[in-house]
Amino acid sequence: MLTISKPTRDINGDITLEGSKSISNRVLIIRALCDVNFDIANLAKAKDTQTLDQLLNQSISIYDAGHAGTTYRFLTAYLALQNGTQTLTGSKRMKQRPIGGLVNALRDLGANIEYKEKEGFPPLIIGEPEIKNTKAELTISSHVSSQFISAMLLVAPYLPNGISIRLQGKVVSRPYIEMTLSVMREFGAQVTWNEGLITVAPKPYRARDYKVEADWSAASYYYEIVAFSTTSNLQLNGLFDDSIQGDRAIAELMEPFGVVSMFNREGVLLTKGMRIGNMFEEDFIECPDIAQTMMATCSGVGQFGVFRGLDTLSIKETDRIAAMKAELKKVGVAIQQLPKSWELVAGEPAYSCKGIAKRLEESVVFQTYEDHRMAMALAPLCMLVGEIQIEHPDVVQKSYPTYWEDLKQIGFKINWTKL
């Protein structure tokens, strides 16, 4: 259990963010495929990335990805091209997350994959591949996880004739696919994406040293903090204005909440400006990982919100919509489903005389549902509602292990209690 509070709403400091987990995981797969070692600077310290790095370097045939969804999907495609027979498993929650779309696509390429337990779900037994010596052409629904598509793209340069993937329908999490293609190009891959058709030539990667940019997903929680602040002078190091990460969108999304981004040589300086408007509406189909951040932000400032494009949130580490609905209810916020969106009703701002701060008779306790983003998105609410408690706060190890220590640097009071 962790207790967190913030005595004032002034935010000042300098935070150097860790490398992007999403980019790190892609580069690790590329390095493994290169079969030539090269240096990766600023590799993410996230548990998911460390797990992938460890599994790619192990000598035993049983691979346990734990809770790491990206790690599991990327390893499925990577192991499908390797010699021998491997078992790929994960946590109890991982066994509830569908993998059938990726398995079916890999089987079409000649992969030898069987389900060890439930059809369509982990764990998998992956045997010797029989890769077809013809041009691989696949048609895939764009509504499947972008991780499935990225997993296939990453290994595509090692198929005998490359691959052509036609995406049907509106693409889910498009920036993550674009990120994959961008990183692949950095290592010499020949890739194109025209009118829904992605083509990858059969040209192996070229090994080169690589530096991972800082994580925009992690930065989103500081944008939330500044949105709740009275004054701010917060420097976030390692971020690029022209980032390949889709969560870079947080900078624009937070402008109406009074968060001003000033990019500089080291990263971005966040200051507090004037809040504009009293309604928030956004489609998160391209940046689902910052939806929880924006839900918490709307809740804190008392802003009505309409959230669309949450298609993938129910199959993440937890059902994120259900989890946010349950936890925000504790501070007087309602989330209800509309025909094509979700509506968030927050009422008065938390810091007003009529807001949720006055309705809390004791410290609120937030559950985390084994989901790192639940903990990190809900914690900043302590700036407005007073002391709060976070159960199982160590879930942040998944993507941002130093989150709590970094919050201390900018004035948050944090105490750990053993349950």
pLDDT higher at 291 or 140: 291
pLDDT the model gives residue 357: 44
Q: What pLDDT is stored for residue 279 in this prediction?
A: 87
pLDDT digits 0-9 by tens, 287-327 = 889 999 999 999 999 999 999 888 766 656 678 888 999 99
Lowest mean pLDDT among 62-66, 206-210, 313-317, 364-368: 313-317
Chain mean pLDDT for the chain: 90
Over residues 170-184, the pLDDT tens digits come to: 777 788 999 999 999
Task: Give per-residue burial for 28-60: e unless 16+ CB within 10 Å, then b.
Answer: bbbbbbbeeeeebebbbbbbbbbbbbebbeeee
Question: Which among 394, 229, 391 is positioned nearest to 297, based on CA atoms?
Answer: 229
Reported as a single tens digit per residue, the pLDDT across 67-88 is: 888 999 999 999 999 999 999 9
Task: Indicate if the pLDDT at residue 161 is higher than 50.
Answer: yes
Interatomic CA distance for residues 73 and 71, integer angstroms: 6
Checking if the pLDDT of 65 tops 80, the result is yes
Rounded CA-CA distance 350/348 in Å is: 6
Instruction: Report the percentage of the chain scoring pLDDT > 70.
Output: 93
Is the pLDDT confidence value at 9 over 60?
A: yes
Instruction: Please provide the distance, in angstroms rounded to a whole number, between the alpha carbons at the two ends of the chain.
Output: 6
DSSP-derived 3-state class of residue 79: helix
Fold of 21-211: UDP-n-acetylglucosamine1-carboxyvinyl-transferase; Chain (3.65.10)
Phi, psi of 405 (to 5 degrees): -65, -40
Considering only the top CATH level, what class is 2-18+213-416?
alpha beta
Q: How confident is the model at residue 381 (pLDDT cuts 50, 70, 90)?
A: very high
Does 21-211 match 2-18+213-416 at the fold level? Answer: yes
**pLDDT given for residue 173 in this prediction:** 73
Run of H or E residues at 252: helix 250-253
Please report, for the chain, the start and end positions of each structural domain, with discontinuous segments joined by +. Answer: 2-18+213-416, 21-211
* Strands, E assignment, 58-209: 62-64, 86-89, 113-115, 124-126, 136-141, 163-168, 191-194, 197-200
Taking only the tens place, the pLDDT of each residue in 330-365 is: 998 998 888 878 888 876 655 554 445 444 556 799
Structure confidence by residue, pLDDT tens digits, 209-233: 999 999 999 999 999 999 999 999 9
Window from 109-118, 224-233, 241-250, 354-363 with minimum mean pLDDT? 354-363
Q: What is the pLDDT of residues 90-104, one digit of tens each?
A: 999 899 999 999 999
Percent of the chain with pLDDT over 90: 72
Is the separation of the CB atoms in 71 and 193 below 8 Å?
Answer: no
pLDDT at 353: 42
Six-digit token string for 185: 């190009």
Q: Read out DSSP for 12-32?
A: EEEEEPPBPHHHHHHHHHHHH
How many angstroms separate the CA atoms of 188 and 210, rounded? Answer: 13
The reply to whether the predicted model has a pTM over 0.75 is: yes
CA angle, 218 as apex, 215 and 221 as ends, to 5°?
A: 150
Listed in order, strand segments (DSSP E) in 250-387 are 259-263, 267-272, 279-283, 304-308, 334-337, 342-345, 364-366
Average pLDDT over residues 145-159: 92
- Could you list the active site residues? 289
pLDDT over 90 at 145, yes or no: no
**324: closest CA among 399, 284, 376?**
376
- Mention every residue, 6+ apart, whose C-beta is less than 8 A from residue 70: 21, 22, 25, 48, 52, 147
Check whether the bond before 349 is cis (ω within 30° of 0).
no
Q: What is the pLDDT of residue 362?
A: 63
